[in-house]
Structure 1
Amino acid sequence: MAFSASWKGRGAEHRSGGVLESEDAPPLLNAQAARSFAPIYLMKTRLVLAGKSKAEIAQAIATALNWKELPALESGAMAYMMSKQQSLNDRDKVWHSHAMFFLPAT
């Protein structure tokens, strides 16, 4: 994939028995991430909701990045998840505050 593994495929990996689990952990994106990571995340979300497999999602995003249909990740792109009340999914009810840095693959 062309973005940092720090996101760990959120969305596609939240499938449990073919049903998306609930998630209440919205990331707050800085300006660089809003311009460059948000389009990737939104495309991934649409593909998950369309029932695509992890492999299909990875291929679609890689192709879109390769054809420049999605913007390249900008330097300094990051997200903050600071709420102490966030819930990642039905299994992991409470999560800790953290920041995520998005880096292009090298």
Structure 2
Amino acid sequence: MTQALRPNTAGSLFATDGKVRPLQDTLMAVTLVLGLLSFITSFFHGLHLLTSWTGLLGIVVGAYGQWISETTRERTGLILGLGASGVGFLIGMAHGGLFGGLIG
């Protein structure tokens, strides 16, 4: 009869187990912010340094977050941030790269 007292979150996309995980939540938020920044700045050709570096940092932070994540909610946010970071990183690399104009 104890199952009648538990909420049914098995079907929810953002299912959580009710525990607080500040490190995973912080990594998810940082990945989303870096991905969004990288994606938005990729539309401006002159910002390729910012675009490529924030994209690379977003990929690294997101990959570590994926490695230690435990719930679907965390993984969903991380995948969205990783995708945006990846797109921004690749467009930033096409526009001039990580060191475009500074070295060489």
Normalising by structure 2, we get a TM-score of 0.30
The structure having more radius of gyration, on CA atoms, is 2
Q: Relative to total residues, which structure has the larger helix share, 1 or 2? A: 2
Bigger proportion of residues as strand: 1
Q: Tell me which of the two structures has the higher relative contact order, counting C-alpha pairs closer than 8 angstroms and 6 or more residues apart.
A: 1
TM-score (norm 1): 0.29
